[in-house]
Homo-oligomer: A and B are copies of this chain.
Amino acid sequence: MSSKEAKTRTKILEATWKLMEQNQGQGVRMSDIAKSAGVSRQAVYLHFESRVDLMNATTKYVDEVLGLDERLQCVSDAPSATKALELFIEVWGNYIPEIYGLSKALLAVRDTDEAASKAWDECMSCLRNASRDIVEGLNQSKVLSSQWTNDAAGDLLWTMLSVQNWEQLINDCGWSQTQYVDGMTKMIQASILD
């Protein structure tokens, strides 16, 4: 019964995800995760090498479950490049709250751990590539502001849509989710469109 192993693994991943979101990525111990998953602390170490390894695996797991790629599908199907930009901001902007806790946890260890950094970058590269594609589309439709190169506009778009900016506007400035999406859309349109 090798499915038992997989089941336990999934239980641990689910518990990790849940706790990370509950506590916004802060102060979640290995023993908390084990308890929440209904297994011993050591069982966690039988499935994952270390805390960082577990977090990376959880990131991958969450990514599969939530399916950002599929959500971004509708962006590719957009009738125009400008509409694609709008949809992109909306889809990603509404995705952030779902992954916020885990993101925070990953970002916190990113600086001290090479593997975590890689995991985060991998996750982000999806967004970065999407940003580049959008900008490329805008450029081909001749609506990209002439003051930017494709690369610069892509970097800016990607940076503006960072989890940290979302966090700052929502948490520190008290913006609502709709305010965020609307505001970001207006701001980005103003800065990179002609």
The residues of A with any CB-CB pair to B shorter than 8 Å are: 24-27, 104, 108, 111-112, 121, 145, 147-148, 152, 155-156, 158-160, 162, 164-165, 168-169, 172-173, 175, 179, 183, 186-188, 190-192
Contacts and interface: CB of A to CB of B under 8 A. Distances in A.
Contacts of A158: 168, 173
Contact of A164 (B148, B164, B175): B164
B168 A159 contact: yes
How many copies the complex holds: the figure is 2
Ranked 9 nearest A-B pairs via Cβ: A155-B173, A164-B164, A190-B191, A191-B191, A187-B191, A159-B168, A26-B111, A190-B190, A159-B165
A164 B159 CA distance: 9
Contact of A186 (B104, B147, B175, B179): B147
B159 A173 contact: yes
Contacts of A183: 152, 156
Contacts of A147: 186, 190
A187 B187 CA distance: 9
Contact of A168 (B145, B162, B173): B162
Contacts of A156: 169, 183, 187
A111 to B, nearest CB: 5
A169 B160 CA distance: 10
Contact of A190 (B145, B159, B169, B173): B145
19 contacts: A25-B111, A27-B112, A104-B111, A108-B111, A121-B172, A148-B186, A155-B169, A155-B173, A155-B175, A156-B183, A156-B187, A159-B168, A159-B169, A159-B173, A162-B164, A162-B165, A165-B165, A186-B191, A191-B191
A153 to B, nearest CB: 9
